[in-house]
Amino acid sequence: MSLRDLGSWLAPAGWPELGDDRRGRVRALAWAAIAAQALFVVGWIVAGALEPGYSQLRQYASELGRHGAAHAWIFDVAVVAWGLGFVALGTALLPALAGRPWRTVAPALFMLAGVLAVALAPLRLDCASTVSHLCDLQEKAGTLSWHEYGHAWVSFALEGALLLTPFALARTLWPGRLARLILFGGAAVAVVLLVLASVGLSAGAHTHHGALTGLWQRAALLVVHVWVVLCAGALLTYAKRRPGVAAGALAVSASPSRYPHQP
């Protein structure tokens, strides 16, 4: 089965293509979402390479933006771009889901995730708790600044918003093969992320020096990157379709509008 056949098999029947007035905008926003993922990865790689003594395996990416970091601005720019990428993806999804139930839920969750990601930049960590035993003790004692704890809570909310996106999309696209695929995929990803989170927390609870906390975080981030690229890639493929052309898009995250002129 070719990719075109698979896309036709998955796509809900009877959905018209995007109007010509929206194709360019959807493509631009989808590319922006993909570029934001790449920029975020490049940002923490470069900032980590320039940070004396920093370990990508042991430390959180956000510790590159902590107070006293050598190049905190690099992480700030990268995480803001990352957040704007989520907003771009949510905006691109809106016209693709028009006419469906709960059409605004998944886009709103992506946009919320984007706002929360941008908020991480000014909410700087006070210190690196993954490698500093004193910092870890202060964090647990509640003696650090509100920025430190605000960063943790915002990160938790960001993860929750992203985790809900596949379930919201499945509800919007229900019923059909595509909705079931997204639902099962979202459940599998949720299990994987919970396992990664528990392993990372367990490693951090038992030891700081030598723990692979950073590795577990980056594995979870990889899942997010793949999910966003799949969603954006589906929108790019879908936006290429023209009226009268057979469906060939593997629409992982989006579908055409019933009302081409509805925002």
The answer to whether 54 and 64 have CB atoms below 8 angstroms apart is yes
Find the mean pLDDT for residues 104-117.
96
Most distant CA atoms of the chain, gap in Å: 65
Query: What is the structure's pLDDT at 102?
Result: 87
pLDDT interval class at 203 (50, 70, 90): low
User: 54 phi and psi, to 5 degrees?
Assistant: -75, 140
Distance (Å, whole) CA 218 – CA 224? 10
DSSP assigned state of 259: S
Highest mean pLDDT: which range of 3-17, 58-72, 240-254: 58-72
Distance (Å, whole) CA 216 – CA 222? 10
**In the chain, where are the structural domains located?**
3-239
Find the mean pLDDT for residues 106-112.
96
Q: Is 253 helix (H, G, I), strand (E, B) or coil?
A: coil
Query: What is the structure's pLDDT at 7?
Result: 53
Asked whether residue 111 carries a pLDDT value surpassing 80, the answer given is: yes
One DSSP character per residue, 56-73 reads TTTS-GGGGGSTT-TTHH
Distance (Å, whole) CA 163 – CA 66? 26
Distance (Å, whole) CA 196 – CA 8? 35
Of 33, 93, 101, 59, nearest to 215 (Cα)? Answer: 59
Distance (Å, whole) CA 63 – CA 32? 26
Distance (Å, whole) CA 57 – CA 192? 19
Distance (Å, whole) CA 109 – CA 90? 8
Asked whether residue 263 carries a pLDDT value surpassing 50, the answer given is: no
Distance (Å, whole) CA 176 – CA 10? 8
What is the reported pTM? Answer: 0.83
The answer to whether 253 and 230 have CB atoms below 8 angstroms apart is yes
